[in-house]
Amino acid sequence: MKKVLITGAAGFLGSHLCDRFIKEGYHVIGMDNFITGDKNNINHLVDNTNFKFIEHNVTDFVKIDGSLDYILHFASPASPIDYLKIPIQTLKVGSLGTHNLLGLAKAKKARILIASTSEVYGDPLIHPQTEDYYGNVNTIGPRGVYDEAKRFQESITMAYHRFHGLETRIVRIFNTYGPRMRLNDGRVIPAFMGQALRGEDLTIFGDGSQTRSFCYVDDQVEGIYKLLLSDYSFPVNIGNPHEITIKEFAEEVIKLTATSQKVIYKELPQDDPLQRQPDISLAKKLLNWEPKIGREEGMRITYEYFKTLSKEELFKSDH
Ligand code: NAD
Ligand code: UDP
């Protein structure tokens, strides 16, 4: 039985990856320090004999007994609200944490996949974004703590690949959504869902003309799984190229949730990228992968999930 270590296991993507690898017959070791994650995301796995959980901060030395075949490094705050609240931890998990996991991969002769992001392209000057675009990041802006941690993460991963011959994979994840997103993580989908369910107006930052391209979590997980098993060491974009303005998206959410709410406008956060759309030609060619779940279906499933939250969860300011 192959063994895989997944960091960030109690988070949104990490928990879905744990489910997928268990389903594929792996022994999964999940690791998390719960800084932005939630025990509830992995509660259903704790009695599974093929799952083991270790509570640990990966910026400290990571020790695993026995062999390991794969490591997926997904630990990191991922939403602007989170990484603005804990900027130093964000820089540390992307740099020191990644270094620890690369060291572990080298010691165990394991293949490692790291979770990078479309944020390495910053506020992009080319559209859609291809993997060979170097990006436009403000290193000293508020989002720099996340963007630069991820850019460093890519660099050190390539250095381990070139210098130590480590088997490495880099996925550049574009905005992904689905069940288990934290209601109050500030990202636009949980924000709009929470507002709709609480009967509040939907907050659009800026004039809403900025664009994003939203990928349903199952499609993302499938892309990551295929990339891990491929033999390609350079970064690959995984996301859904179907682009929409935030204003149109708010209208879709109002229609989906059948609420009578309006939209209200708030200030656009500094360095908020004005447009984002992945070019996924490489993933299509290399992995024979493309997203299958459209926004209508994905958002319906996601809304069903948010509807299951209790009133208490819906109204508490953070968790
Ligand atoms: P999330 O906040 O739901 O999950 C991150 C998990 O990492 C949390 O459970 C958190 O507690 C854990 N964590 C953070 N720092 C840690 C540390 N030092 N030690 C141990 N655990 C730690 O976020 P997510 O959306 O699931 O994102 C997961 C990964 O995917 C991140 O690396 C993120 O940068 C990347 N990513 C996500 C998206 C997206 O749209 N969801 C987009 C681009 C990149
Ligand atoms: N956004 C918004 N209202 C909200 C939360 C976010 O208009 O309540 C906007 C945000 O400014 C950005 C887009 O939605 O332009 C996506 O934001 P998110 O935080 O989900 O992701 P990211 O900016 O990291 O792509």
Note the pLDDT tens digit of each residue in 292-305: 999 999 999 999 99
What's the pLDDT at 318? 60
| Closest approach atom of ligand 2 to CA 143 | 24
pLDDT band at 46 (very low <50, low <70, confident <90, very high): very high
Q: Report which protein residue has its CA nearest ligand 1's atom 29.
A: 74
What's the pLDDT at 316? 82
Residues 6+ apart with CB under 8 A from 200: 194, 261
Bridge partners (DSSP) listed for residue 218: none
Note the pLDDT tens digit of each residue in 98-129: 999 999 999 999 999 999 999 999 999 999 99
What's the pLDDT at 317? 67
Q: How would DSSP label each residue in 47-108? A: T-TTEEEEE--TTS-----S--SEEEE--S--SHHHHHHSHHHHHHIIIIIHHHHHHHHHHH
ipTM computed for the complex = 0.97
Residues 6+ apart with CB under 8 A from 93: 58, 59, 75, 76, 77, 149
Tokens of 270: 């500094």
Q: Is the CB of 170 under 6 A from ligand 1?
A: no
Start-to-end CA distance of the chain, whole Å, equals 36
Note the pLDDT tens digit of each residue in 8-42: 999 999 999 999 999 999 999 999 999 999 999 99
Distance in Å, CA 233 to ligand 2 centroid: 30
Q: Report which protein residue has its CA nearest ligand 2's atom 6.
A: 188
Predicted TM-score (pTM) of this structure = 0.98
Residue 146 has pLDDT above 80, yes or no: yes
68/7 Cα distance (integer angstroms) = 13
243-245/168-173 β-pairing = unpaired
Residue 319 has pLDDT above 80, yes or no: no
Note the ligand closest to the C-alpha atom of 53: 1
262-267: average pLDDT: 96
Note the pLDDT tens digit of each residue in 159-171: 999 999 999 999 9
Percent of residues, the chain, with pLDDT higher than 70: 99
131-139: average pLDDT: 97
211-213/243-245 β-pairing = antiparallel
Assess contact for 97 and 75: CB atoms under 8 A.
yes
Which residue type sits at 182?
R
Which of 81, 118, 205, 266 best tests ligand 2's pocket when mutated (most atoms within 8 Å of CB)? 205
What's the pLDDT at 261? 86
Q: With both helix axes pointing from N to C terminus, report the angle between 246-257 and 188-198 in degrees, rounded to the nearest 10.
A: 40
Question: How big is the chain, counted in residues?
Answer: 319
197/284 Cα distance (integer angstroms) = 37
Active site residues: 146
| C-beta atoms surrounding 106 within 10 Å | 14
Note the pLDDT tens digit of each residue in 191-211: 999 999 999 999 999 999 999
Q: With both helix axes pointing from N to C terminus, report the angle between 217-229 and 12-23 in degrees, rounded to the nearest 10.
A: 60
Tokens of 205: 């930052």
70-73/3-7 β-pairing = parallel
Distance of CA 288 to the CA centre of its chain: 21
Q: Is the peptide bond before 128 cis (omega within 30 degrees of 0)?
A: yes
Q: Report which protein residue has its CA nearest ligand 1's atom 4.
A: 11
Q: Is the CB of 278 under 6 A from ligand 1?
A: no
Distance in Å, CA 66 to ligand 2 centroid: 42
